[in-house]
Structure 1
Amino acid sequence: MSAPDPDSPGDRLVIALDFGTTFSGVAYAFDVLGKEAEIIPIQEWPGLEGYRQPKVPTLIMYDENDSSKFKWGGQVNWRDPAVRGVKLLLDPDQPLPAFFRGSRAEMDLPDLPKAPVDVVADYLRAIYNHAVSVIESSVIRAYAQSCPRAFVLTVPAAWSDKAKDLTAKAAEKAGIHPITLIKEPEAAALQSLTTHDHGIKANAGGGTVDLITYKIKKLEPRPELAELVPGNSGMAGSLGLNRRFEFAVRAVVGEEQFVNLKKTVGWSKALLDFDKNIKTAFNGDTRVKHYVSFPMARLRDDSEKHILGNCWEMSGLSSKKFNDWWKFRSTVPV
């Protein structure tokens, strides 16, 4: 990136935050008069050293003895008792999907001396402070600090007014203001479409899914778009498949073994493998078998349930049931 001119008047720093149910990201641009803005994503994160990626896990784990101390994002291990999916609790008027009721976030939050909005504020503050440190290291620090800042924060299209208000409050608590809220599919449309384009934008995330058809009326001097037909959205997403996988493993190994399994590294390894590999590779072919390993789990062999040597042979039909179940649970009427 070419360095902005420290003596240029009227420059500002625009920081956009994409706060997701499972992953979040930050991008920024210097708005300089007469120059086209270069949008730059933050791709280096604490705990993920050696990797360059535009998103970081939306995880936060508090110190048992001091809730002002916490790990977040890549600092959190998959085995850690972290708060997950807290974003969905910002919209209390939305019916929670089946996978979320009774999940870790809902169980853990009442034990914390904080409301969901304060947990979100802690996480947003952490990723914002990290982003600022990266930005200030990429240009003249005094210049970055002198630029007025504007903030954009994405929200699901399904978000109620109450949820938007809580999201804005969490951002303000995190020191992120003044802020502009923008619907996630709307942000995608403005980024990828040009004037007079028509397009269907599907935003399928970890906990919310939006499907909206947009027409770009104009982009200058201020973007203006219109919905061609009413959009559909709802509380759904890939987090539900992970939850369904957990239900399936519990049913296969039995309650007693499952309780012990979750205490081992084998469970976190298996869940990570399902999330990163098995789930993403599923293409509808029920003939394909997947093998889920639970290292060091000491599961009892059971030929009828296809468990041998701490490995579960999961049929393609089981994979299809996960997806069919979730499509049924997350259907939004059209």
Structure 2
Amino acid sequence: MTNSSSDIRVVVGIDFGTTYSGFSYANVKTPNKIETNDIWLETQGEFKTNTVIRYDNKFNVVKWGLPALAEKISRKSKNSKSEDIQIAELFKLHLGEIADEKKPKLPLGLNPRKAVTDYLCEIGKLMKAKISDRWPGLIYFKHVRIILTVPVEYDEKVRAIMRQCAYDAELLLTVESENLEFTTEPEAAAMYCLETLSEHPLNEGDSFMIVDCGGGTVDLTVRTLLPNSKLSEMTESTGDFCGSTYIDKEFKKFLARKIGLSAFRLLEEKHYPQLQYLIQYFCTQIKLPFDGNLNTWRDKEIDLEEVCPVLLQYVKGEERDRLESMEWMIELDFATVKSFFDKVIEKIINLIHRQLSNSSKNISAIFLVGGFSESKYLLHRIRNEFSNRISYISVPSHPIASVVKGAVLYGLKTDTIQTRVLKNTYGIRMLRDWTPADPVSKLVMIDSEKHVRYFERLAKKGTQVPVDQEFKKIVYPAYKDQSECNFFIYKTKADDGEYCDEPGMELFGKLNLELPDVHLGFSRPMEFTLTFGQMETRAFAKALKKFMFKLKI
């Protein structure tokens, strides 16, 4: 059972990120008062907490968020071990289309869907408590709409997995509940930027680029401002794995060189929370303040004995002699820290160049959002690279909360997005006469006649389509006494295709239609329709009975 829009009183946006997550909420009667949670279990003042879960050996949740990841141990406790805990992080990446060897390791025996469900359950408990405190008497499953943000590369199948996880996490009353909707992360960011456009020199018809710089991924999209504060998507969204956590990876490589690879592996294996505490220290004290200005730079030091005392017992040989002589201080100079950033930022710059090349319109502005956009060095590099082409490059206020606030705005104003650009080519499997030009392997015999099944394109990748636009095709029975018809829907990243079993083709869905009036033979037209909605793609098929009766007469 689903609820009508008139029942909705509160909209909640959940930004379930690769490395950090958060939520915002607003009452539909006061849509301009969006509140973003900044009080977590053991911390406050931050709009997000870490997307991390700590389990016991039976996979019961022990902690979640920042307390599950980073833990400082005093010098007196430096020999304590954490081998009895299991930490799951970056598990969201298991849902994306990345090679198995590049997916982060999870505790042995942990299904990534369980991790997603457990995390949504924990953040959901806090979310429900906040809403209950804010609006007593409100019925959660009846009066609350949830907008869950997803990366642009998540297709319908992954969103179906996310929907099932949300249901298992007790965020929904039924799996099919209309109280859950999806929007992409850059789309939510665009909604947030739309609210601030009055502050910037943009007019109707101007296009702007959103660069959502998160922890794991960076996503880009180009939007055009339409009349009445509506938005259209102008280019296909793009993205890559070049978020701020890849800077942390460079720091870990540096640390391993300083303390020795063996010591680093032992620290990672036996005291992972303490390693993460050290990384968080690097992030707050070095990564975030770094602005790329050599004139104001002062070399940084990290006191390993103070920040990560458990490490000292594992450092051996030359590394130990050198660190002892330096009183367990490691130094980071300007060139070293800059090198952590440059590989990552170059990828982001290349993504922006690619989006600019793909856009058919001039881009008037670039907005950087997401946690990584708070990096002054990133902003400096992008302005230095593109200021000759883009006159306005800006970071809105509270960029780390831009996606989650934009998700709430999306839920309050679902008609703001007017067009989308298709990321795939869609079509259906059809039947035609076989010709000698077709491979013999494609030959299908029906009623002693030679046929071949082929891909009939309905909607082409890269096409800008209005929300709910319909793509239709009239088809007829394959054989005269056919009593039902199965429509096989396929998608591909290519612009077109010839056969449904060629490389890159993916079965998108299947639709069955009963065919009455068998006595009419082939004279039974059917109409197949593919519709691209706000986020979900819908397929319909119907027999055109009125038309058939006319043929019969």
TM-score by length of 1: 0.80
Alignment equivalent of 2:239, drawn from 233, 242, 247? 233
Match of 1:149 in 2: 144
- Quote the residue 2:105 is aligned against: 107
Matched residue, 1:125: 121
What SS class does the counterpart of residue 67 from structure 1 fall into?
coil
**Match status 1:210 vs 2:224:** no
Distance 2:139 2:328 in 1: 53
Query: Aligned partners of 1:120 and 1:185: how far apart in 2?
Result: 21
Shift of 1:60: 0.4
User: In 1, distance between residues paired with 2:276 and 2:98?
Assistant: 30
C-alpha distance in structure 1 between counterparts of 2:228 and 2:328, whole Å: 56
Aligned to 2:45: 52
Q: CA offset at residue 326 of structure 1?
A: 2.7
Code of the residue aligned with 1:60 in structure 2: it is I
- Note closer, same or farther for the CA distance 1:232–1:248 as it changes in structure 2 (3 Å cut): same
Residue 230 of structure 1 and its aligned partner are, at CA, apart by 3.7
CA contact (8 A) 1:90 1:167 kept: no
CA distance in structure 1 between the partners assigned to 2:112 and 2:274 by the alignment: 30
Closer, same or farther in 2 for the Cα pair 1:186/1:11, shift >3 Å?
Answer: closer
Determine if the alignment matches structure 1 residue 243 to structure 2 residue 236: no
**Residue of structure 2 in register with 1:89 after alignment:** 94
Distance 1:23 1:247, change over 3 A: same
Residues 87-106 of structure 1 show CA distances to partners (whole Å, capped at 9, x for unaligned) of: 11111x2347xxx937xxx3
The residue type equivalent to 2:88 in the other structure is V
Which residue number in structure 2 is paired with residue 273 of structure 1? 281
Which of 149, 153, 156 aligns to 1:158? It is 153
Match of 2:237, SS state, is: strand
Corresponding residue for residue 62 of structure 2: 70
Q: Is the 8 A contact 1:135 1:144 kept in 2?
A: no
How far off is 1:208 after superposition?
0.9
CA distance in 2, matches of 1:278, 1:307: 23
Distance 2:7 2:211 in 1: 36
Structure 1, unaligned stretches of length 5 or more?
Answer: 1-8
1:5 aligned partner: none
The residue identity in structure 1 corresponding to 2:221 is I
Please tell me whether residue 321 in structure 1 is matched to residue 346 in structure 2: no
**Larger strand proportion, structure 1 or 2?**
2
Dislocated runs of 4+, deviation >6 Å: none
Q: Which amino acid aligns with 1:199?
A: F
Cα deviations across residues 226-284 of structure 1 (Å, max 9, x unaligned)?
22334331122111111121112112222233234445687444312212221112223
Corresponding residue SS for 1:229 = coil
Q: Calculate percent identity across the aligned residue pairs.
A: 24
How many residues align? The count is 306
Separation in 2, partners of 1:215, 1:187: 15
SS where residue 189 of structure 1 aligns?
A: helix
User: Equivalents in 2 of 1:289, 1:212: separation in Å?
Assistant: 37
Are the aligned partners of 2:39 and 2:46 in contact in 1 as well (CA < 8 Å)? yes
- Mapped to 2, the partners of 1:53 and 1:152 lie a distance apart of 21
Contact 2:267 2:275 in 1 (8 A): yes
Separation in 2 of the partners of 1:198 and 1:274? 38
The verdict on how the C-alpha distance between 1:301 and 1:285 changes in structure 2, with shifts beyond 3 A counting, is: farther
List gaps (5 residues or longer) in structure 2.
Answer: 1-5, 72-81, 173-178, 198-202, 355-553
> Aligned pair 1:43/2:51, yes or no?
no
The alignment partner of 2:170 has SS state of: coil
Aligned-partner Cα distance in 2 for 1:272–1:143: 38
Q: Distance in 2 between matches of 1:260 and 1:11?
A: 52
**In the TM superposition, what whole-angstrom CA distance separates every residue of 1:168-207 from its partner, at most 9, and x where no partner exists?**
3322222234311111111121122158363221110011
**Which residue identity is paired with 2:20?**
F
Is 1:61 equivalent to 2:61 in the alignment? no
Cα displacement string for residues 140-168 of structure 1 (whole angstroms, at most 9, x for unaligned residues): 2x235485221101112233443333223
8 Å contact from structure 1 (residues 214, 227) kept in 2: yes
Name the stretch that deviates more: 116-125 or 231-240.
231-240
Change (3 A) 1:307 1:170: farther
Q: Please give the per-residue CA displacement for 1:33-82, whole angstroms capped at 9, x wherever unaligned.
A: xx54522212221122xx23221111101111x32333111431414752
Three-state SS of the structure 2 residue aligned to 1:324 is helix
Question: In terms of mean alpha carbon deviation, does 190-199 or 307-316 score higher?
Answer: 190-199
- Check conservation: 2:54, 2:63, Cα contact below 8 A: yes
Are the aligned partners of 2:61 and 2:118 in contact in 1 as well (CA < 8 Å)?
no
Amino acid at match of 1:278: I
The alpha-carbon deviation at position 120 of structure 1 amounts to: 0.5
Structure 1 residues 276 and 136: alpha-carbon distance in aligned structure 2, compared to 1, 3 A threshold: same
CA RMSD of aligned residues (A): 2.9
Q: Which amino acid aligns with 2:291?
A: N
Match of 1:23 among 3, 10, 20: 20
The question of whether the paired residues in 2 share the 8 Å contact of 1:25 and 1:56 is answered with yes
Q: 322, 334, 341: which is aligned to 1:302? A: 322
8 Å contact kept, 2:221–2:235: yes
In structure 2, what is the Cα distance between the partners aligned to 1:266 and 1:73? 15
- Residue matched to 1:173: 168
**Contact 2:23/2:36 (CA < 8 Å) preserved in 1?**
yes
| TM-score, normalised by the number of residues in structure 2 | 0.50
The corresponding residue for 2:265 is 259
Pick which of 268-277 and 123-132 moved more.
Answer: 268-277
Looking at structure 2, the residues matched to 153 and 192 of structure 1 have their Cα atoms a distance apart, in angstroms, of 18
